[in-house]
Chain A
Amino acid sequence: MAAPMELSCWGGGWGLPSVHTESLIVMAYARFSGAPLRVSAVDHSWSAPQGDVPVLISEDAVIAQPAKILNYLRKQKYNADYELSAKQGADTLAYIALLEEKLLPAILHTFWVEAENYCSVTKPWYASRIPFPLRLYLPGKMSRKALNRILLMRGEPPLYRLNDVEAQIYRDAKECLNLLSNRLGTSQFFFGNTPTTLDAFVFGFLAPLYKVHFPKVQLQEHLKQLHNLCRFCDDILSGYFRLSVTGFSPAGQDTVDANLQKLTQLVNKESNLIEKMDDNLRKSPQHPPRKLTTLKLSAAGEESSLLTRLSPC
């Protein structure tokens, strides 16, 4: 009964199913709601879409933009928000607005405008997935679009210079992360124990920031201090995307199958959580376990800041 739906989106890296916020939102929502999607990453062939990504292609429609895709999935009875009250639905809308207004400019800046990040990470990554002549042009265009958006959203008369805008957007983004961390508290997801639309959005915004290795990491460092948000990203990655290593769910899968899969994932996640709690209990005075590379990075950072603090000025 389920028509095969295909999602074209930017591919993954750094342990993420996709490094692109909007693609990640749709993928996470599809996993949460059990919608069977065949995911095809944009590759360097001409047939792959290069413009608006992600795109959902089903029998009767081609849909771009995450909000519209999510609406379409809801109409197909893949709804992750069944259990939410009307007020929680309203909250979802409000927090998505918060993400878009306060966090998005800083994420765009980190990926597309910060010169060092753009040249050594973002540009090579995207260029390697775009066919030859376009790869010389498209990343630059995406970068200019991001810069333009930041300046138009925030570049009011006193803040004409990019430096001033930068300070402002990073301050806003850090405040936004703190607010999200406070809102999440110790619960597993934003509305109790099952993930919803809001969780898909927050995950889509945070995970790339959390996982991608950038040379300039001021926002990433702030995020890594908010342990509950990091735990939130890790939980979703391990609970809902573990199967992605072996490939995405096949097309035309029954909803029954999808539900079963969801259930096993839930169980996996629970056991994961228990493991993690044990771990945390054992090492409670120390920092929670991090990945090796980041550990190295942060250790080096701490050392140097310690040195500067100790050195007589």
Chain B
Amino acid sequence: MSLVAEALVSQIAAAEPWPENAALYQQMKEEQILLSDNASSLAVQAFLQMCSLPVQVVCRPNAEYMSPSGKVPFIHVGNQVVSELGPIVQFVKAKGHSLSDGLDEVQKAEMKAYMELVNNMLLTAELYLQWCDDATVEEITHPRYGSPYPWPLNRILAYQKQWEVRRKMKAIGWAGKSLEQVLEDVDQCCQALSQRLGTQPYFFNKLPTELDALVFGHLFTILTTQLTSDELSEKVKNYSNLVAFCRRIEQQYFEGRDKDSSSTSRFSKGPLLR
């Protein structure tokens, strides 16, 4: 998108208030969505919840192809479609809602840095696990990714995606890593997040920011998703303050909402997190 187009979009966005019928699209929850997409979707949901902006979660088998950037989740607000957390944060900010306005310049730099840490390590590790670890690919990724399509399309699309992700891993130098090294990286990342969080309720003390939403999305998904082995979730469980952090955000932003809303977004994984 060019600068002009972007400026135009933000102006249009600012003119209209947040509508009641805003929708967030992702893949089918039970049988299709993969770890990394679920984490990204949950991060956006948490962010919008923290901004108190209502959004209805809509599950579509072809969400990936509906998204303007080819990535889930994306939100449909008024006549705008925006995908991924970064652009959505910008978009919501243009409408006058922001979680990070209270931070000073140094804190903003810190927030951005930690968000890149999560993208650089956790997201890449999730992608590695689901597309480069043979056991996971065989048992989970291929069946789930291809689930909406008939044979042979299910195999073709899954292999195409796998090839794409593996090329990316090769370009960033992750292709040569073993699973142990990747888990080691995850551990290092969790340790850094845990140190940064300390005993505070949120990363920047009392109020949540988009960093909290992003970290919650990834860690909660890792903690509550059943994979071929528990190695990944065990790494996170070693850090009690991170687990408590996930539980706190879940209780505050997701549990109350299920009771009083008729939205389709039921957060049904609650009891898994003990």
Contact = CB atoms under 8 A, between A and B. Distances in A.
A182 B168 CA distance: 32
Contacts of A98: 112-113, 116-117
B102 to A, nearest CB: 16
Interface string A179-199: 110110100000000000000
B3 A167 contact: yes
A269 to B, nearest CB: 24
A47 B167 CA distance: 31
B113 A97 contact: yes
B120 interface: yes
Contacts of A257: none
B171 A90 contact: no
Contacts of B2: 167
B188 interface: yes
A94 B113 contact: yes
B113 A179 contact: yes
A158 interface: yes
Nearest to B105: A182
B198 interface: yes
Nearest to B121: A97
B191 interface: yes
Task: Among A65, A100, A148, A183, find the residue whose CB has the most chain B CB atoms closer than 10 A.
Answer: A183
A91 B110 CA distance: 8
B70 A182 contact: no
Contacts of A152: 167-168, 171-172
Contacts of A164: 1
Interface residues of A, number: 29
A149 B172 contact: yes
B233 interface: no
Contacts of A156: 69-71
B171 A97 contact: no
A89 B194 CA distance: 12
B98 interface: no
B116 A102 contact: yes
A93 B171 contact: no
Interface residues of B, number: 33
A52 to B, nearest CB: 10
A167 B4 CA distance: 12
A97 B196 CA distance: 15
B114 interface: yes
Contacts of B272: none
| Contact residues of B: prevailing secondary structure | helix
Interface string B1-44: 11100000000000000000000000000000000000000000
A93 B2 CA distance: 32
B73 to A, nearest CB: 15
A93 B117 contact: yes
Nearest to A85: B195
A297 interface: no
Contacts of A149: 171-172
Nearest to B188: A93
A86 interface: yes
B119 interface: yes
B192 interface: yes
A1 to B, nearest CB: 30
Contact of B116 (A65, A86, A89, A101): A101
B108 interface: yes
B214 to A, nearest CB: 12
Interface in A145-169: 148-149, 152-153, 156-158, 164, 167
Contacts of A309: none
Contacts of A183: 106, 109-110, 113
B99 interface: no
6 contacts: A87-B196, A90-B193, A100-B120, A156-B70, A157-B69, A164-B1
Given A148-B171, A182-B106, 12 more contacts: A89-B195, A90-B191, A93-B117, A97-B121, A98-B112, A100-B116, A101-B120, A149-B172, A152-B172, A167-B2, A179-B108, A185-B106
